[in-house]
Structure 1
């Protein structure tokens, strides 16, 4: 691969990553979820819609400590997006779940991503979609291996 293609790919990757983060934050601030940060919406996403989860599970999925997650959960509880519940079988274990407001935030964020993907592949042939997915999959796998990131 020649140097100019490497430079173009580097610029595209960096710009795309930064733009996705910026657009996501702008979408949050301009919509119904204007009291959430991108980090908080990703915490909501990691908690999930239906099954109460232990703090350690969610922290592991996000690649953060339980202490860091506790701070985020405290804020999300205050804002009404998350609630804590003691496990019925083991009262020492605290599970976290989304409230109705949290589930709405989850669905709104999910739609944002769905719309982003639809726009990304609009106008691509099925073959081009496969090539794009394959290339992004290889890039994703590289980062997970290189930086020892656990798979979600």
Structure 2
């Protein structure tokens, strides 16, 4: 592959990354007067799907510190999206679940992402599987590079 094409690909990735970071700051409307940030919506999604049922799992899933995850969960609790309950198996651990308002935010986020995901998946339907495998390997490599930079 020629160097010019490689540079164009890296440039496109950087542009997508910058735009993605900007889009992540946009609010998602839950009700007429209530909204959440995309970052908050992703945490709500992970709680609603039971992938993250405690603060440690939120931190691990998103690559946050436990302190940052705790602050996020506390904010979501104050806003009425999440409730914390003592876990049945541990006196120290708190289990997270969504409130009715949290479920509304979950649905609003799912609806927004559903449109975007549908478009991406339809585009990917026209790409050879070997190319998708290579793309996945490239993105995995970039992810590892970013992990390395973040831990310095």
TM over 0.5: yes
Quote the RMSD (CA, aligned, Å): 2.7
> For residue 35 of structure 1, what is the aligned residue in structure 2?
35
CA contact (8 A) 1:49 1:103 kept: no
> For residue 135 of structure 2, what is the aligned residue in structure 1?
136
The alignment status of 1:62 with 2:50, answered yes or no, reads: no
Q: Report 1:11-30 matches (<5 A).
A: 11-26=11-26, 28-29=27-28
TM-score, length-normalised on structure 1? 0.76
Q: Report 1:71-90 matches (<5 A).
A: 71-90=71-90
The 3 A distance-change label for structure 1 pair 7 and 89 is closer
Cα offset, 1:18, TM superposition: 2.4
Cα offset, 1:22, TM superposition: 3.0
Cα offset, 1:85, TM superposition: 0.3
Q: Which has the higher strand share?
A: 2
Cα distance per residue 1:37-79 (max 9 Å; x no partner): 2221222223233577122122111112221111111111111
The answer for unaligned runs of 5 or more in structure 2 is none
SS in 2 for 1:128: coil
Q: Report 1:49-128 matches (<5 A).
A: 49-50=49-50, 53-122=53-122, 124=123, 126-128=125-127
TM-score, length-normalised on structure 2? 0.76
Where do 4+ consecutive residues of structure 1 move more than 4 Å?
none
CA contact (8 A) 2:24 2:39 kept: no
